[in-house]
Copies of this chain bind each other. A is one copy, B any other.
Amino acid sequence: MSPTEEFSKVVREWAKIYMHRSMSDFKRFMEETGLSFSHVNILMRLFHGGMSGVSEIGEQMGITNAAASQTVDRLVQMGMIRRTEDPQDRRAKKLELTQEGRVIIEKGVDARSKWIENLADNLNPDQQEMITSALTLLTEAALKTINSP
């Protein structure tokens, strides 16, 4: 196997393990909270960096305004999202997580981080440092490909 093939293979192998773990964590989280994939998706977006409009959510999820409005409404009824009138433009709504919503999502995010910390415990400082440099390199290379698929 050529070095590049080897590279390709280990990238895929690591991704397979990481994805498998993330997916099963995600699935368990959905079962525990009674939230659907779309629900978690929306709450995550509000958690990281916030977001204003109902339309924006629809656009990003590739669904109609109406569908987004209904899903958001469901989350409002569950007490996960607070929906208030935007004072700048009173047609629009400002969406943000409630205390309850934030706590639940935080719990999910923390659970995911914990596994990585666990991983670090199985690696000595030199190894951690080497992996850190390697992944930094990889991330930089990936960012370059974003505009050249």
Among the 9-residue stretches A72-80, A84-92, A94-102, A124-132, the one with 4 or more Cβ atoms under 8 Å from chain B is A124-132
Q: Which residues of A contact B (CB under 8 A)?
A: 3-4, 6-8, 10-15, 17-19, 21-22, 27, 62, 113, 115-120, 122-123, 125, 127-139, 141-145, 148-149
Q: 19 additional contacts, CB 8 Å, given A7-B132, A14-B138, A21-B142?
A: A3-B125, A3-B132, A7-B129, A8-B116, A10-B135, A11-B116, A12-B113, A12-B116, A14-B139, A18-B18, A18-B142, A119-B141, A119-B142, A122-B144, A123-B141, A127-B137, A130-B134, A130-B137, A134-B134
A132 to B131, CA, bound (A): 10
Contact (A4, B117) CB under 8 Å given A14-B139, A17-B143, A137-B127 = yes
A-B pairs with lowest CB-CB distance, top 9: A134-B134, A122-B141, A10-B135, A131-B134, A7-B128, A14-B135, A17-B142, A4-B120, A7-B132
A122 to B11, CA, bound (A): 14
Contact (A135, B13) CB under 8 Å given A119-B142, A119-B145, A125-B3 = yes
Contacts of A18 in B (CB 8 A): 15, 18, 142
A136 to B11, CA, bound (A): 9
Contacts of A132 in B (CB 8 A): 3, 6-7, 10
